[in-house]
């Protein structure tokens, strides 16, 4: 079930299991992921044209995604993080819908299995 | 010493903290901080319990750099290792973390096996170092104490030996103490005048102690010469002059090794009647061939003899004594030494009052 979820969202289940030991642990972290505020920080800051705050949100979200082995989401968040770090706000604005799309996939997937 | 059995995890992202917590749960007590301020509070409260700090750089309120700064200011960097947690590996951020005193860096995502091993290594390294440093501090204190005791007994024995001579010469016993004081004054002025690199404080104290032995050879001079109230005949005077050599012979007898103290004692005994123009005794050394410590003791010895009453003469005032010495009434001294003698005048007079 968890493995299917990882396949479905473009994650790396084998990395996840090596880090978190077993499915129950992973499930616990998936719940934590739902509570994580970094995506909302990024979204709000993008809407408010706040590059600095958007960078911090993206940076945090990237770390979390990497730890969770959400590879697809990690990649796109990494891209927006670098754009924001370089203060290329226009580019980041164009990238954000892709972030939102991947993020939504993960959230929907989690909601299905817990 | 209290055991350090606690890990502090400072990261604003709960998932990151939880991941680390899962790795170390059961092996350590875990403290968590979700921002820099909390981390600082916990560091302050548990500074003797924390074995390791996992520190995220980017955090609200106070960031990782500020936490490290607090630790530097409060002397925690050397006792609490910090493992920096970072999302990306750039040379700049790595260098910066190490410059601030981080013990190691780990990158997200965490690999439990790697994190565990690194944490274990670093904790062991720091605890080993702390215990060695404690041990060293204790040993250093013991060493310093025993060195102080040895120095004390060295001073005691030197004083005892030199007062034997004074006792026999029927002198008051204060000459030796005054020579020591005046020698110290002159050497300090010499150093102030001609450069700090001349001698260390420790060397000055060795010379001061050695100065007590300058006349130790007089113990070998027969009573009829040593205690004669009137003027000595030429023959008697020649014998009297040998106290410089007798002193050295005695020192050679009980020498154990060629220490700095031995060298100063020997040279002071032998050369404290040499004169700058080569007209002193026993070897007729001249100029800078006479070691400075022997030059200092020679002028101090003359000065103290003049300002105090002896069996064979009345005393002079310090002013008169200064004039006599400058005039060369008691032999020639080096211009550098006389300059130092003038420089030290106020202190010299105070010390003899």
The three-class DSSP label of residue B106 is strand
pLDDT, position B29: 92
Query: Within 13 Å of residue B287, how many CA atoms lie on the same side as its CB?
Result: 1
- What are the tens digits of pLDDT across the range A32-52? 999 888 999 999 999 999 999
Q: How far is A36 from chain B (nearest CA, A)?
A: 8
Question: In angstroms, what separates the C-alpha of B130 from chain A's closest C-alpha?
Answer: 32
From the list A28, A38, A66, which residue is nearest B108 (CB)? A66
- Establish if A66 touches chain B: CB-CB under 8 angstroms: yes
Residue pLDDT, tens place only, B71-94 = 888 888 888 999 998 876 677 778
- Is B218 considered catalytic here? yes
B109 interaction partners in chain A (CB closer than 8 Å): 15, 19, 66-69
CB–CB contact A20 B22 (8 Å) = yes
Nearest to A64 among B13, B22, B111 (CB): B13
Least reliable range by pLDDT among A84-88, B9-13, B97-101: B97-101
Angle at the Cα of B206 from the Cα atoms of B200 and B210, rounded to 5 degrees:
145
Q: What is the pLDDT of residue B311?
A: 60
* pLDDT band (50, 70, 90) for residue B352: confident
User: Quick check: helix, strand or coil at residue B244?
Assistant: helix
CB nearest A67 (choices: B12, B58, B108) = B108
Chain B residues whose C-beta is within 8 A of a chain A C-beta are 12-16, 18-19, 22, 58, 87, 108-112
CA angle (B283, B285, B289) in 5-degree steps: 135
CA proximity to B55, closest of B93, B99, B24, B11: B11
Could you give the CA distance from residue A72 to residue A8 in angstroms, rounded to a whole number? 10
Per-residue HEC secondary structure of chain A comes to CHHHHHHHHCCCHHHHHHHHCCHHHHHHHHHHHHHCCHHHHHHHHHHCCCHHHHHHHHHHHHHHHHHHCCHHHHHHHHHHHHHHHCCCHHHHHHHHHHHHHHHHHHHHHHHHHC
Judge if pTM exceeds 0.80: no
CA distance B119 to B242: 74
Task: Flag if A64 and B16 touch (Cβ within 8 Å).
Answer: yes
Phi, psi of B184 (to 5 degrees): -60, -45
Nearest to A32 among B14, B111, B112 (CB): B14
Select A2-113's CATH number: 1.20.120, 2.60.40, 1.10.20, 1.10.3210: 1.20.120
Size of interface A-B (CB pairs under 8 A): 52
So what's the pLDDT on residue B299? 97
- pLDDT tens readout for residues B301-312: 999 999 987 666
What size, in residues, is chain A? Answer: 114
Interface membership of A21 toward B (CB under 8 Å): yes
Helix axes A89-113, A51-68, angle to 10 degrees: 40
- Output the pLDDT for position B291: 96
The 10 Å Cβ neighbour count of residue B318 is 17
Q: Do B110 and A20 touch (CB under 8 A)?
A: no
Q: Which of B27, B47, B180, B218 is catalytic?
A: B218
| Each residue's pLDDT tens digit, B215-267 | 999 999 999 999 888 889 999 999 999 999 999 999 999 888 888 999 999 99
CB contact A35 to B (< 8 Å): yes
A42 touches chain B (CB under 8 A): no
What the block records as the tokens of B226 is 């040593």
**Per-residue CA distances from B161 to B33, B174, B211, B219, B225 (Å):** 69, 14, 12, 10, 21
Domains annotated for chain B, with CATH where assigned, are: 6-139 (3.40.50.2300), 169-352 (1.10.3210.10)
What is the enclosing helix (H) or strand (E) of B14? helix B14-24
- Is A19 close to B111, i.e. CB distance below 8 A? yes
The span from the CA of A61 to the CA of A54, in Å, is: 10
Q: Can you give the residue ranges of every domain in chain A?
A: 2-113
């Amino acid at each position: 079930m968890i493995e299917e979820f990882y396949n479905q969202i473009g994650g790396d289940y084998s990395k996840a299991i090596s880090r978190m030991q077993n499915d129950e642990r992973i499930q616990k972290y998936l719940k934590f992921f739902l509570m994580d505020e970094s995506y909302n920080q990024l979204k709000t800051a993008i809407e408010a044209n706040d590059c600095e705050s958007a960078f911090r949100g993206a940076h945090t979200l990237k770390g979390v995604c990497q730890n969770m082995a959400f590879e697809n989401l990690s990649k796109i968040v990494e891209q927006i993080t670098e754009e924001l770090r370089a203060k290329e706000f226009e580019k980041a604005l164009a990238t954000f819908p892709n972030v939102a799309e991947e993020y939504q996939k993960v959230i929907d997937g989690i909601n299905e299995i817990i | 010493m209290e055991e350090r059995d606690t890990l502090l995890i400072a990261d604003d992202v709960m998932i990151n903290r939880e991941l680390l917590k899962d790795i170390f749960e059961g092996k350590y007590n875990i403290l968590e901080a979700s921002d820099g301020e909390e981390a600082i509070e916990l560091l302050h409260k548990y500074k003797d319990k924390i074995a390791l700090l996992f520190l995220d750089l980017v955090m609200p309120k106070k960031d990782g750099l500020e936490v490290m700064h607090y630790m530097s200011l409060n002397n925690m960097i050397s006792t609490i290792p910090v493992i920096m947690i970072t999302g990306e590996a750039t040379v700049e951020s790595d260098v910066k973390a190490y410059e601030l005193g981080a013990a190691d860096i780990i990158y997200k995502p965490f690999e439990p096996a790697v994190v565990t091993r690194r944490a274990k290594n670093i904790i062991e390294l720091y605890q080993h170092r702390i215990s060695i440093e404690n041990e060293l501090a204790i040993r250093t204190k013991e060493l310093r104490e025993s060195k102080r005791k040895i120095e004390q007994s060295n001073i005691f024995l030197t004083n005892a030996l030199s007062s034997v001579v004074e006792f026999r010469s029927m002198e008051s016993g204060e000459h030796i103490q005054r020579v020591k004081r005046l020698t110290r004054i002159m050497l300090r002025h010499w150093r102030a005048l001609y450069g700090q690199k001349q001698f260390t404080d420790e060397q000055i104290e060795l010379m001061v102690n050695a100065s007590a032995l300058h006349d130790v050879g007089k113990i070998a001079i027969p009573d009829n010469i040593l205690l004669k109230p009137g003027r000595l005949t030429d023959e008697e005077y020649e014998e009297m002059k040998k106290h410089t050599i007798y002193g050295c012979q005695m020192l050679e007898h009980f020498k154990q090794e060629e220490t700095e103290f031995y060298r100063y004692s020997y040279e002071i005994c032998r050369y404290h009647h040499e004169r700058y123009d080569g007209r002193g005794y026993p070897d007729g050394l001249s100029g800078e061939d006479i070691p400075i410590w022997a030059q200092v003791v020679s002028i101090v010895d003359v000065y103290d003899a003049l300002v105090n009453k002896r069996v064979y003469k009345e005393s002079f005032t310090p002013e008169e004594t200064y004039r006599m010495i400058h005039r060369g009434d008691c032999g020639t001294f080096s211009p550098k030494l006389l300059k130092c003698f003038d420089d030290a005048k106020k202190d010299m007079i105070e010390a003899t009052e």
